[in-house]
């Protein structure tokens, strides 16, 4: 399968934990950015003539921070290049997803919404700098539910002042709202963020307990834990993200967007002004490009496949390149072998990076 990702780097305000390529205070760049995106899409359409994406993911940043008129422009640009999508996901935040935008997205063909909530506790939302409270989320979610039957909601475990009971309550409150998909991320305290600079240190043991508890609660409620951070009701897995994890091709357009096309990984500049300036001259501002081959390519494939918790049957090539590493990881009980498939063990799910590092250079 093939997927198309569109990055929208604008946010109402910047959350204290976030080091994604997203910015507050540059809303005036939204129109020129959309013009640049249109150019990039047209250039890539000419370049990759046989590219036929079946999934579209509009992420950010905060795509719902675009105005209704801007959302229409965005979809016109996409649909003038690509049309046959099976799944179209649009990321949205409660403070900017109005009823008229919900209706518009439905009309434009969006069939999956992904809403950022993080916690159902206003005190947590305030501490982490979210631009919405829980009541606002509930209003937006209830409206969205009338138009969409495939909704994901994001939660974070390990937030400042969040107890295990708080977190469990958030999970339960969310389940009661009956979304089809829930993503649960363990908080990453990234060096560049105000959260890190505030000196906050995440209690890894507590976060792990939260993630274990989320898995229990969600599985008892009928959710399938199909990827390290992702749970869905049967048949509601994210097709777009599964394509990433299966090593499929994807094209990313927009600032900071990453792509994997014809065995080559590349990424655009994350500088929004630079991105716009470059596309005014019809040049795609690629700042990183790498052709994966040999052992590195096989390692990348293994690492991605481990993210999917059902596991995978190793190919002869995988075994030839990484037999020793598989043995070490089995020995450390970070992975297990079941019915000829390798998969992350219970321990491995929480220390996945300790597994992944065996498959990236230097090996
Ligand atoms: C690409 S972000 C954008 C989504 C949307 N703008 C929002 O904030 O709701 C997707 C999700 O990543 C998660 N996330 C972002 N930064 C994180 C961090 N440092 N640690 C854990 N999860 C994080 C949040 O749950 C967020 O909703
Ligand atoms: S709204 Fe989303 S993308 Fe924007 S700063 Fe917050 S977490 Fe990051």
Secondary structure of 89-136 as H, E, C letters: EEEECCCCCCHHHHHHHHHCCCCEEEEEEECCCHHHHHHCCCCCCHHH
Residue 362 has pLDDT above 90, yes or no: no
Rounded mean pLDDT of 134-149?
98
User: Kind of pairing, strands 112-118 and 151-157?
Assistant: parallel
Q: Are residues 329 and 215 located together in one domain of the fold?
A: no
Q: Are residues 188 and 325 located together in one domain of the fold?
A: no
Q: Is residue 288 part of a domain?
A: no
Q: Are residues 104 and 202 located together in one domain of the fold?
A: yes
Residue 125 has pLDDT above 90, yes or no: yes
Strand partners, 265: 260, 290
Q: What is the pLDDT of residue 287?
A: 98
Q: What is the pLDDT of residue 48?
A: 98
20: pLDDT confidence band, cut at 50, 70 and 90? very high
Q: What is the pLDDT of residue 363?
A: 79
Which one of the ligands is nearest to 58 CA?
Answer: 1
Q: What is the pLDDT of residue 352?
A: 95
Tell how far the Cα of 118 is from the centroid of ligand 1, in angstroms.
Answer: 8
Domain boundary among 243, 274, 309: 243
pTM, two decimal places: 0.97
Which CATH number is 99's domain given?
Answer: 3.20.20.70
How many domains, the chain? 2
Tell how far the Cα of 128 is from the centroid of ligand 2, in angstroms.
Answer: 10
pLDDT in tens, 144-173: 999 999 999 999 999 999 999 999 999 999
**291-304: burial string, b at 16+ Cβ within 10 Å, e else:** ebeeebebbbbbbb
Tell how far the Cα of 14 is from the centroid of ligand 2, in angstroms.
Answer: 6
Q: Is residue 265 part of a domain?
A: no
Nearest CA to ligand 2 atom 8: 18
Tell how far the Cα of 61 is from the centroid of ligand 1, in angstroms.
Answer: 9
10 Å Cβ neighbour count for 305?
21
Q: Are residues 201 and 303 located together in one domain of the fold?
A: no
Residue 18 has pLDDT above 90, yes or no: yes
Q: Are residues 211 and 306 located together in one domain of the fold?
A: no
Q: What is the pLDDT of residue 250?
A: 98
Q: Is residue 176 part of a domain?
A: yes
Nearest CA to ligand 2 atom 2: 61
Q: Ligand 1 in contact with 356 (CB < 6 A)?
A: no
Average pLDDT, the chain: 97
Q: Could you identify the atom of ligand 1 that is nearest to the CA of residue 115?
A: 9
How many percent of the chain have pLDDT more than 70? Answer: 100
Q: What is the pLDDT of residue 275?
A: 98
Q: Are residues 142 and 222 located together in one domain of the fold?
A: yes
Domain boundary among 226, 243, 260: 243
pLDDT in tens, 174-217: 999 999 999 999 999 999 999 999 999 999 999 999 999 999 99
Which one of the ligands is nearest to 128 CA?
Answer: 2
Q: Are residues 300 and 233 located together in one domain of the fold?
A: no
Rounded mean pLDDT of 117-136?
98
10 Å Cβ neighbour count for 192?
9
Rounded mean pLDDT of 121-144?
98
Q: Ligand 1 in contact with 89 (CB < 6 A)?
A: no
Residue 309 has pLDDT above 90, yes or no: yes
Rounded mean pLDDT of 32-54?
98
Taking the C-alpha atoms of residue 56 and residue 183, their distance in angstroms, rounded to an integer, is 18
Tell how far the Cα of 17 is from the centroid of ligand 1, in angstroms.
Answer: 8
Tell how far the Cα of 60 is from the centroid of ligand 1, in angstroms.
Answer: 9
Q: Which residues line ligand 2 (CB under 6 A)?
A: 11, 14-15, 18, 20, 22, 60-62, 93, 116
Q: Are residues 95 and 166 located together in one domain of the fold?
A: yes
276: pLDDT confidence band, cut at 50, 70 and 90? very high
Q: Is residue 60 part of a domain?
A: yes
Residue 50 φ/ψ, nearest 5 degrees: -95, 5
272: pLDDT confidence band, cut at 50, 70 and 90? very high
Residue 49 has pLDDT above 90, yes or no: yes
Distance of CA 110 to the CA centre of its chain: 17
Q: What is the pLDDT of residue 134?
A: 98
pLDDT in tens, 89-110: 999 999 999 999 999 999 999 9
Q: Are residues 224 and 301 located together in one domain of the fold?
A: no
Which one of the ligands is nearest to 185 CA?
Answer: 1
Q: Is residue 289 part of a domain?
A: no
Q: What is the pLDDT of residue 183?
A: 98
- Domain containing 338 equals 294-359
């Amino acid at each position: 399968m093939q997927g198309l990702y569109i990055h929208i780097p604008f946010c109402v305000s910047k959350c204290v934990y976030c080091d994604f390529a997203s910015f507050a205070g540059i809303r005036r760049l939204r129109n020129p950015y959309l013009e640049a995106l249109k150019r990039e899409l047209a250039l890539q359409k000419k370049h990759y003539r046989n590219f036929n994406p079946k999934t579209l993911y509009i992420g950010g940043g905060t795509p719902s921070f675009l105005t209704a008129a801007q959302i229409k422009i965005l979809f016109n640009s996409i649909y003038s290049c690509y049309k046959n999508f099976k799944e179209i996901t649009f990321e949205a935040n409660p403070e900017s997803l109005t009823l008229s935008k919900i209706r518009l997205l439905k009309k434009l063909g969006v069939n999956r919404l992904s809403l950022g909530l993080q916690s159902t506790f206003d005190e947590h939302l305030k501490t982490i700098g979210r631009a919405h409270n829980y009541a606002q989320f509930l209003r937006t979610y209830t409206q969205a539910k009338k138009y969409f039957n495939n909704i994901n909601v994001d939660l974070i475990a390990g937030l400042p002042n969040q107890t295990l009971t708080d977190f469990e309550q958030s999970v339960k409150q969310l389940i009661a709202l009956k979304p089809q998909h829930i993503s649960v991320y363990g908080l990453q305290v990234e060096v560049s963020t105000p959260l890190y600079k505030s000196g906050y240190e995440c209690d890894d043991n507590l976060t792990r307990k939260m993630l274990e508890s989320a898995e229990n609660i969600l599985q008892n409620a009928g959710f399938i834990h199909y990827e390290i951070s992702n749970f869905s009701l049967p048949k509601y897995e994210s097709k777009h993200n599964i394509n990433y994890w299966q090593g499929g091709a994807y094209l990313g357009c927009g600032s900071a967007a990453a792509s994997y096309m014809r065995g080559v990984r590349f990424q655009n500049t994350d500088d929004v002004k630079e991105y716009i300036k470059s596309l005014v001259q019809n040049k795609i501002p690629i700042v990183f490009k790498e052709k994966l081959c040999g052992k590195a390519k096989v390692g990348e494939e293994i690492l991605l496949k481990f993210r999917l918790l059902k596991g995978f049957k190793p190919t002869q090539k995988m075994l030839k390149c990484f037999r020793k590493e598989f043995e070490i990881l089995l020995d450390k009980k970070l992975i297990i072998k079941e019915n000829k498939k390798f998969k992350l063990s219970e321990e491995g799910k929480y220390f996945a990076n300790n597994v992944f590092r065996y498959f990236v250079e230097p090996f």
